[in-house]
Amino acid sequence: MANIPEDLRYTKDHEWVSVTGDTAAIGITDYAQSSLGDVVYIDLPRVGDTFGTHEAFGSVESVKAVSEIFTPVAGEVVEVNSALNDTPEKVNNDPYGEAWFVKIKMSNPGEADAMLSAEEYEEYLSANS
């Protein structure tokens, strides 16, 4: 079974969110990186860009496909993980640690509460695999 940390929230698009105050760090799940295969390039937004809930904010390119990444929460990008430009393979090696994509100052911090818990995400994966 996929690695699904208990302390994060999840989407059905296989993004994860870690909330600290009104800021959400966003990345893709272990399941997503494993489905994509070897990640070779990541396209991320700039600091100051703003997005609504479930808007595409970038993409992940692997040896198999290019997949859009969506914002699970609305807000303004306050930090971008530029280290991924040089080492996109971190997404495969450490999807929940060093491979976060962006940090967004949330317009509505309660939005993350509506996302899937680790248990709900695991059930979603089981039902859809």
What CATH topology corresponds to 9-108? Answer: OB fold (Dihydrolipoamide Acetyltransferase, E2P) (2.40.50)
Position 1 scores a pLDDT of: 52
Position 12 scores a pLDDT of: 95
Beta bridge partners of 113: none
Position 87 scores a pLDDT of: 96
pLDDT in tens, the chain (129 residues): 568 999 999 999 999 999 999 999 999 999 999 999 999 999 999 999 999 999 999 999 999 999 999 999 999 999 999 999 999 999 999 999 999 999 999 999 899 999 999 999 999 999 987
Q: CB burial class (10 A; 0-12, 13-18, 19+) of residue 119?
A: exposed
Position 2 scores a pLDDT of: 66
Helix or strand run (H / E) with residue 93: helix 90-93
Q: Among 2, 34, 29, which residue's Cα sits nearest to residue 17?
A: 29
Q: Among 48, 8, 43, 51, which residue's Cα sits nearest to residue 29?
A: 8
Position 18 scores a pLDDT of: 97
Q: Among 114, 112, 95, which residue's Cα sits nearest to residue 104?
A: 112
Position 129 scores a pLDDT of: 75
SS3 114: helix
